[in-house]
Structure 1
Amino acid sequence: MAQPAAVRGEHGTHFLVAAYGIQGHLNPARALARRLAAIDGATATLSVPLFGHRRMFPSSSPDDQEVSDGVIHYAPFSDGQDDGSWPTGSGDETARRRRASCDSLSAVVRRLAAAGRPVTCVVCTLNMPTVVQVARAHGLPLAVYWIQPATVLVAYYHYFHGHGDGGIAAHAADPAYEATLPGLRRPMRMGRDMPSFLADDATGTGDDLSQMIVRGFREMFEQMDDEEVIMKPCMVLVNTFEALEETALEAIRPYLGGVFAIGAPVVPLAGAGEDQAIHLFAQDEEKRYMAWLDAQPPKSVVYVSWGSLLTYSERQAEEILRGIRRLNLPYLWVVRREGRSPEVDRLLLATAAAVPEGMVVEWCDQVRVLSHPSVACFVTHCGWNSTLEAVACGVPAVAAPSWSDQPVNAHLLAEEWGVAVRAEREADGVLTGAELARCVELAVGSGDMATAIAASSRAWKERVREAVAAGGPSERSLRSFVKRVQELEFLRSN
């Protein structure tokens, strides 16, 4: 349990890591902050919007401006909508929330300085242009923490630097069009591999939220190009490993001065401690689902989770259950209560009585589940955190992407690394039970593809463990970044 942080003088390099307070941004940002704080001469504070902070620390007092877990500090800021609601994409609301974020985060920077812990470098997760404004206002160096794969960084960079209007948009109506981007080994197919927000932008079919996100990305890249950016050349930390994306990393380095592959450990390491992740959703069934996994045969369980944002329609829930019944294997399925319809609730209750060999939970510790010897296959939405966790734990996957970077991640899993079977959704986005069953059977059945996937999964698991080991490439890259920041700090102070 975190306690109110004591006000005390601290010296050395102090990183302020700013992130959105949602599961997919929070955990990589927190892992980065804790790793920075473990480096001699460095400390770190994590700052997320107030709603997310309160979910992280529900027992803290509303008056607490800062808490500490003994390793890093947590100092929330207000984004002008402290109930956690999603932005609508309207210009007036965006401007209001931006002003609120800038004012509140600036107050955090001033308060930390007054407490004797001045910020010396700001790090922000992707698509937070307001944080760049705050860093500039306070004369602070800034680095971007790219929490998607380097391949997606390449796609966004080139889309905003001549390949969008110049090529991709001209062929956007053709889903089979293959966009060739500088340095990438394979072209990106418009209707299959391209980040969904870029495909929507190229075709002009994006909704208000999609358009707002693309505007944010565009502005972020403009800021990264700006000669007035405090840290130049622009520093980018990428949550990936050299071994996984060597080609993409080499492709983007000529354009962005400082690119560091600092992939955060997603598997517990010796001496790393047990406090590896924050969960924004209740895990009341943790003892029950772990005990249930213990009772299952090795490599028998199909684990299904579509992350912290996507919800299930009644038809999609029915199709997943059809697929599971068709497989006749034990299953563990994560269905968050948040956003769950009464129809899905009734369906799950009926299924629990009719299919007792499975278990439905509201949330789980995914790394613990994927590390369990009874888990055979991971049916995933292909969020980047889930993608890394599947590879690090050596679990074959069925890749069923939906939006954002997920199509790229599915491509990497299935075609670059050979550790997954890619599932095809219907035109309305539904993954049918027949397709789910077909893909699971290919991934972990008795055929040649399953044999090849198992071998690739074991090989990549070992390579990731080597990358995140103490003193390994990931740690060396992070230390190189810190050294670069400290050199800049020395130059600025002299």
Structure 2
Amino acid sequence: MSPPRPHFLVLTYPLQGHIAPALRLARRLLAVAPDVLVTFSTTEAAHQRLFPAKQEEEDLNGGGGRLEFIPFSDGTEGGYGGGSDVGAFNAYMASFHAAGPRSVGALVDALAARGRPVSRVVYTLMLPWAADVARGRGVPSALYWIQPVAVFAVYHHYFHGYAGAVAEHYRRGDPSFVVELPGLAPLAVGDLPTFLTESTDPANYFHAVFLTFRDLFDTLDREAPAATVLINSCQELEVGALAAVGPHDVLPIGPVLPAGDETSIFKQDDAKYMEWLDTKPASSVVYVSFGSLATMAREQLDELHLGLEEGRRPYLLVVRKDNKATLAEAEAEMGERLENGVVVEWCDQVRVLSHAAVGCFVTHCGWNSVAESVASGVPMVGVPKVSEQSMNARLVEREWRTGVRGRVDDGGVLRAAELRRCVEEVMGDGAAAAEVRRRAREWKRVAAEAMGNGGSSYCNLVAFVDGARSSN
């Protein structure tokens, strides 16, 4: 009797920024090993948005049933609806952490009863309990860290003796104070993840996220002899940081990009924006998107619109649905049309960044966006806000030198003049801009080689799959 096929249960938190890399990894596992099975699972509400009208019943991946989509329960009927109510968010997180383990445990048991036993549980950042569920059933687990290695190292050291030093520097109120962590270059406290500075306050909206990260690193410490951590980066990008990650078995397996059209919880505009890009010269378009969570105040929209129009370069601007009415009002009051650009509610970002017409990406520096931009060879203008975005912007500007950071005013607004200055620094005719573009092309080559057959990321993922196969 042949041994069971390696079967990975990939679990993720119900945000687009978590779902996208998790689903890409699920498909990547299928691509590197023809005998692998994968079950992808997120919460019921997110699952319904991903696969409306029972679309999941179709063979979405063309893999003959190798990939299944089965949701788990977060204890709510419709998931978390967003908003600024701290109490509501805390209540959702409590429900997620209570109901999630029970539902995922039942899922693992049901898969085994069907003759599809799970070989390895893979979980993203906000599910520390997933490792406990797996351990309780004798199944190995691995964390899929969907941020860079350097950020993982910062979290590791924070929760292993450096929380007090970070807190002391943060209390001084000067974001330029320097924090020194083992194996890492000195970091300004303002560049550290906000979940380790602002969110340690119980009154902060994201305090529940800080507690979840704390639990996550407690979970990793319980894994013996060392936890397996897959990271959506490549070792060539982060050689120094890899030496600072502690005792864990860290495997860079990225940057993982979609293999084709990408499934999203957001409805995309029609693809006319791609036809518009086709009409533009090479490297001429400024692409602007601040990610799946960002909403912009009217003042920021006004400044973006003004800066992009006055820059006289063609631009593609992503404005979430809840901001579009505000933008229309701004246009009417200014008495202007979108003379040089196109505005969409959502788009296929990897397709856009891969288009020859795109010459610059103005981004919030979420890691998915940064990794996609690096893999596409597109220079960046970073405008970080929360979480690890400032760390990512620092990597872009100082480590890889593939972009610049836009400086916001005291109100957190990127002004039109600053936007124009930054775009010129990466798209202009000067020697410095040319060097940014050259380095962007070089890192694109490095990322492609890492993901290609025989590359470092490819070999790390194959080794991970082989480990699951041998443990069956």
Q: Count residues in correspondence.
A: 461
CA positional deviation for 1:98:
2.1
Give 1:243's aligned residue.
Answer: 236
1:17 and 1:45 in contact (8 A); partners too = yes
Q: Match of 2:406, as an amino acid?
A: A
State the distance in 1 between where 2:275 and 2:207 align.
Answer: 45
Matched, 1:78 2:77: no
Counterpart Cα distance in 1 of 2:459 and 2:49 = 33
Query: What are the Cα deviations for residues 412-446 of structure 1, in whole angstroms up to 9, with x where unaligned?
Result: 01110001011011122111111111111111112
Query: Structure 1, residues 139-184: CA drift from partner, whole Å, max 9, x if none?
Result: 221110000000100000000100111x111221232211111111
Provide the residue aligned with 1:320 in structure 2.
304
Deviations along 1:50-83, one digit per CA (max 9) or x if unpaired, are 111111110208xx89976333111101112242
Q: Does 1:413 align with 2:396?
A: yes
Deviation at 1:373, TM superposition (A): 1.5
Aligned-partner residue type, residue 189 of structure 2? M
- Identical-residue share of aligned pairs (%): 41
Distance 2:330 2:79 in 1: 29
Contact residue 145 and residue 236 of structure 1 kept, 8 A:
yes
Which of 270, 274, 278 is residue 285 of structure 1 equivalent to?
A: 270
1 CA distance for matches of 2:70 and 2:159?
33
Answer whether contact 1:67 1:74 (CA < 8 A) is retained: no
Is the 2:404–2:422 Cα contact (8 Å) retained in structure 1?
A: yes
1:15 match: 8
**Cα distance change of structure 1 residues 333 and 318 upon mapping to structure 2, 3 Å threshold:** same
- In structure 2, the partner of 1:263 is 254
What's the secondary structure of 1:428's corresponding residue? Answer: coil
Tell me how far apart the structure 2 counterparts of residues 141 and 312 of structure 1 sit (CA, whole Å). Answer: 42
Deviation at 1:350, TM superposition (A): 6.9
Alpha-carbon distance in structure 2 between the residues aligned to 1:201 and 1:56: 30
Cα shift at 1:37: 2.5
Q: How does 1:212-251 map to 2 (within 5 A)?
A: 212-226=208-222, 229=223, 232-251=225-244
Cα distance between partner residues in 2 of 1:297 and 1:113? 54
Deviation, structure 1 residue 364: 1.0
Tell me how far apart the structure 2 counterparts of residues 474 and 291 of structure 1 sit (CA, whole Å). 33
1:352–1:107 CA distance, 2 compared to 1 (3 A)? farther
Verify the 8 A CA contact 1:352 1:359 in the aligned structure 2: no
Q: Distance in 1 between matches of 2:112 and 2:59?
A: 16
Question: For the structure 1 residues 83 and 396, does the alpha-carbon distance in structure 2 shift closer, same or farther, using more than 3 Å as the test?
Answer: same
C-alpha separation between the residues in 2 aligned to 1:353 and 1:292?
A: 20
Correspondence for 1:302: 286
- CA distance in 1 between partners of 2:430 and 2:50 (Å): 44
SS at match of 1:401: coil
Q: CA deviation at 1:265?
A: 3.2
Residue 435 of structure 1, aligned match among 409, 412, 418:
418
Spell out the pairing of 1:112-191 with structure 2 (5 A cutoff): 112-165=111-164, 167-172=165-170, 173=172, 174-184=174-184, 186-191=185-190
Partner residue, 1:194: 192
- The whole-number CA distance in structure 2 between the counterparts of 1:475 and 1:291 is 33
Q: Give, as a single letter, the amino acid of the residue that structure 2 aligns with 1:13.
A: P
Bigger mean CA offset, 168-177 vs 350-359? 350-359
Paired with 1:89 and 1:141, the residues of 2 have a C-alpha distance of 35
Q: Distance in 1 between matches of 2:438 and 2:314?
A: 23
1:302–1:376 Cα contact (<8 Å) kept = yes
Matches within 5 A, 1:351-362: 354-362=337-345
Deviations 1:227-260 (A, max 9, x none): xx4x6421100110011111111221x421x110
In 1, the alpha carbon distance for the partners of 2:335 and 2:118 equals: 52
Deviation at 1:126, TM superposition (A): 1.0
Instruction: Confirm or deny: 8 A CA contact 1:148 1:384 kept in the other structure.
Output: yes
C-alpha separation in 2, matches of 1:138 and 1:380:
42
Kept after mapping to 2: 8 A contact 1:66/1:75: no
CA drift at 1:471: 2.5
| Closer, same or farther: CA 66–444 of 1 in aligned 2, 3 Å | closer
Question: Quick one: structure 1 residues 315 and 113, their matched pair in 2 at CA, closer, same or farther if it must change by over 3 Å?
Answer: same
CA RMSD of aligned residues (A): 2.3
Q: Which residue in the other structure is 1:29 paired with?
A: 22
Q: For the residues of structure 2 that align with 1:364 and 1:65, how far apart are their CA atoms?
A: 25
Q: Which ranges of structure 2 fall in alignment gaps of 5 or more residues?
A: none
Match of 2:379, as an amino acid?
P
**CA distance in structure 1 between the partners assigned to 2:57 and 2:77 by the alignment:** 15
Cross-structure match for 1:376: 359
1:311 maps to 295
Shift in alpha-carbon separation, 1:324–1:175, aligned structure 2, 3 A = same
Q: Secondary structure at the match of 1:251?
A: coil
Q: Distance in 2 between matches of 1:123 and 1:234?
A: 12
* 3-state SS of paired residue (2:238): helix
> What is aligned with 1:4?
none
Matches of 2:347 and 2:298 in 1, distance apart?
A: 22
Contact 2:366–2:388 under 8 Å retained in 1: yes
CA distance in 1, matches of 2:41, 2:278: 38
**Residue number in structure 1 paired with 2:45:** 51
Q: TM-score, normalised by structure 1?
A: 0.88
Question: Structure 1 residues 162 and 121, CA, compared in 2 at 3 Å: closer, same or farther?
Answer: same
* Secondary structure at 2:159 match in 1: helix
Which whole-Å CA distance do the structure 2 matches of 1:48 and 1:471 have between them? 31
Letter in 2 for 1:34: R
SS of 1:109 mapped into structure 2: helix
* 1:366 to 1:341, Cα distance in 2 relative to 1, 3 A: closer
Shift of 1:209: 3.0
CA distance in 1, matches of 2:42, 2:356: 35
Query: What SS does the aligned partner of 1:70 have?
Result: coil
Contiguous gaps of at least 5 residues in structure 1: 1-8
> How far is the alpha carbon of 1:92 from its aligned partner?
5.6
- The one of 424, 449, 455 equivalent to 1:466 is 449
